[in-house]
Amino acid sequence: MLTQDKFVKEKEHKRLYGEVLKYITREVSNIMTALDTERVNDIEEIRMRAGRPLMVQSYEGDWFVKKNGILSKKHDNAYVTSMENIQNTLELMSQSSIYAYQEELRMGYITLKGGHRVGITGKAVVNNKNIKTLKDISGLNIRIAREVKGCGRKILNYLVNRKAENDIFNTLIVSPPQCGKTTILRDLSRLLSNGFSSLKGLKVGIVDERAEIASCYNGIPQYDVGIRTDVIDCCPKVSGLEILIRSMSPHILVTDEIGDSGDFDAIIKTLNAGVKIITSAHGYNISELKSRDEVLKLIKSRVFERYVVLSNINGPGTVEEIVDGQDMKLIYRRIEDVS
C-alpha cells in the first residue's frame, strides 16, 4: 500500500519526468511514455548516444529500452538512437536557438526549465587551446532533477552549534557521485535560509559554479533554495565567494565540490570575513580526501568543524557518519541493518 508521503513523491516524480519528455524528440519520447510506470519512479538519467541503444539509469543500475517501451538488461532489440534523434532533441531543448546556448555548449551542458540538466558530448571546436563550441553532437545525458525537501533535516541537527545563538558549524559533505550531495546542500540552504525550528532564518549565499545547486534558468532558481538566499550562477568559485562576501553580507556561504587550486585561499578568506561555509567534496571517506592537496590543507588547518559522509546504501542520501572536525571524533554512525 502506498503511504501518503510516497504517493506524493511518486506523483511529483511523474510530473518531473513528463517535464523532461517535452524536450525529447517525439520518436523517442513516445517510447519513454510507454515505459513501465513502476520503473519510471527510479529513473535518474536518460541516455541517448548516436548509433547505440537508448538507455535509462536508476541508482540500481542501467537498462536498455526496447521500441515498445519494455526495459531489458540485454541490448539486442533495443531502440537504437539516431544522430537525427539527438539533433532534433537538441533543437527542442534550445528552443530552436542553439546560438543562445553557446556558452553552455562550451561547458558541456544545458539546464532545462525545471532544473533538469543535460550533459552533452560531441566534437570540440578548438580555437587557441580554448573550446569554442561543440559540434556533431552525438551524446546526451538527461538527468532528471530531484528535489527532496526535508532530506537535510536530520543532518542539520548535527550542524547547529548549541552553545551560541544562530551559529552553524563549517561543514564539509563528503560523498561519492550520485549519492545526493548536491540535493542535500540545496535542502540545507533552504532550511537555513527559511529558518528551522529554533533557528532563525539566516542569509545564505550560493556560489553555483556548475548551475547545479539552484539550477538557474534565465537567472531564476528552479529549486526552492530558501527566501533569504542569493545565488550567483555559473560563477567561478573563487570570484563568486569574493563577490558575495563583498556585497551581499551573507551569514553562510554554500558552494559545491571544492578541491581546485585557489579554493583553499578563497575559503580562508571567507572564514576571515566571519562567514560560515557549507560545501562538498567528492570522495568515499575522509581519509581518501587527504590525497588531494587543496582539501588536505583545509583539513590540516582544521577549517571544518563537521564532516558528513554520504553513501547510497539505503538509497541516495544515506548518512554514513558525521565526524567532529576538531578532534576527529565520531558523532553519528549509521546502524547496519540487522536483516
Residues 274-333 that bind other proteins (CB under 8 A): none
Task: Examine residue 94 and tell whether it contacts other proteins (CB under 8 A).
Answer: yes
The helix-helix angle for 237-247 and 263-272 (nearest 10°) equals 10
Task: Examine residue 111 and tell whether it contacts other proteins (CB under 8 A).
Answer: no
Of 119, 127, 117, the closest CA to residue 16 belongs to 117
What span, in angstroms and rounded, lies between the C-alpha atoms of 182 and 158?
A: 18
Residue span binding other proteins (CB under 8 A) among the ranges 49-57, 90-98, 114-122, 252-260: 90-98
Task: Examine residue 133 and tell whether it contacts other proteins (CB under 8 A).
Answer: yes
**Nearest approach, Cβ of residue 98 and other proteins (Å):** 6
Task: Examine residue 96 and tell whether it contacts other proteins (CB under 8 A).
Answer: yes
**Nearest approach, Cβ of residue 188 and other proteins (Å):** 33
Task: Examine residue 157 and tell whether it contacts other proteins (CB under 8 A).
Answer: no
**Nearest approach, Cβ of residue 138 and other proteins (Å):** 16
Residues 332 and 198: beta-carbon distance below 8 Å: no
Residue choice 37, 68, 77, 102 for contact with other proteins (CB under 8 A): 102
Own/partner contacts of 240-248, CB < 8 Å, gap of 24 or more, are: 240/207, 240/208, 240/209, 241/207, 241/266, 241/267, 241/269, 241/270, 242/266, 242/269, 244/205, 244/207, 245/205, 245/269, 245/270, 245/273, 245/275, 248/203, 248/205
Residue span binding other proteins (CB under 8 A) among the ranges 39-47, 87-95, 136-144, 185-193: 87-95
Task: Examine residue 97 and tell whether it contacts other proteins (CB under 8 A).
Answer: yes
Ordered alpha helix ranges (H), 108-214: 153-159, 181-194
Residue choice 26, 200, 290, 302 for contact with other proteins (CB under 8 A): 26
Tell the residue number behind the cell numbers 525550528, with chain if given.
197
Task: Examine residue 100 and tell whether it contacts other proteins (CB under 8 A).
Answer: yes
Please provide the size of the chain in residues: 339
Half-sphere exposure of 222 (CA within 13 A, CB side): 23
**Nearest approach, Cβ of residue 94 and other proteins (Å):** 8
Site string for other proteins, 217-256 (x = CB under 8 A): ----------------------------------------
**Using CB under 8 A as the criterion, which residues of the chain lie in contact with other proteins when the complex forms?**
25-26, 88, 91-92, 94-100, 102, 105, 132-133
